[in-house]
Amino acid sequence: MRIAVGQFAAGPDWQDNLTACIDLAAEADRGRADLLVLPEGVLARFTEDRHRIREVAQPLDGPFVTELAAATARSSTAIVVGIHEPSDDGRVFNTLVVLRAGALIARYRKIHLYDAFGTQESVDVRPADEPPVVVELAGTKVGLMTCYDVRFPELARLLADAGAEVLALPAAWVRGPAKERHWEVMATARALENTCWVAASGECGPRNIGNSLIVDPLGTVRSRLAAAPGLAWAEADPGVTAAARSTLPVLANRRFAVDPAVRLLGTAPADAFPLGA
């Protein structure tokens, strides 16, 4: 699988952000990417009044997803990107969509909300009570995670248990003391402990760090960006994945399983959800 991770600085206008996504998608297609990972929540970004996230949210059949999906109609590149979609409790879902061949083929709604470092994402965003998602793209199983999810190793392990060889990680990683270090450490740890590839896209700009990167199954960063918009590239060779899992058989050697039940604070006890495709 040929992977591209892209970053740009989202602004307040969804049409401008759509254009930026389409431009990166066209560049990824010219480079024969099988998978393009773009940042989290790119419908709109506000420097003030973050509650407007509710106003700009669009359904999955809205113009942003529809037009971006149309851009993949004649392309061999699948796109993973984050938007916000309305929910029935007045808040929104932080949702990843997977677009391929002109269609929406999968979605993942963020489970772990960024109620940390003085931010309360859950004020405006509803946590999902749906299962994690693995989707097959170009013959490779890709697991979906969003930003703060990377701090929860059990989610990455559940995705690996479901067969994921690549973890797609869109993010809008907020600047702060040591935050760049946290980002790289977490992305690298999730790759190494699960012997899988991590394709991590971080939005750049005044609020977020950028620093998109692709990490291989032994924890080596194969490609990265700094603060400027653009694409980073890597070949996620299944032979490299197999060799890593033979050399470092942590998935085979472990002694504990991860319970697939989704349990969210403030809700009734959850049932066990099967991992979805």
The residues annotated with a catalytic role in the active site are: 40, 110, 147
Asked if 52 contacts 92 with a C-beta cutoff of 8 angstroms, the reply is no
The sign one gets for the Cα dihedral 159, 164, 165, 169 is negative
CB 114 within 8 A of CB 121: yes
The number of residues making up the chain comes to 277
What the block records as the tokens of 80 is 């993973």
**Hey, how many other C-beta atoms are within 10 angstroms of the C-beta on 9?**
19
214-237: b or e for each residue (b if 16 or more CB lie within 10 Å)? bbbbbbebbbbbeeebbbbebebe
Closest CA to 169 of 134, 200, 202, 136: 200
- DSSP of 201-229, one letter per residue? EE--SSSB----EEE-TTS-EEEE--SSS
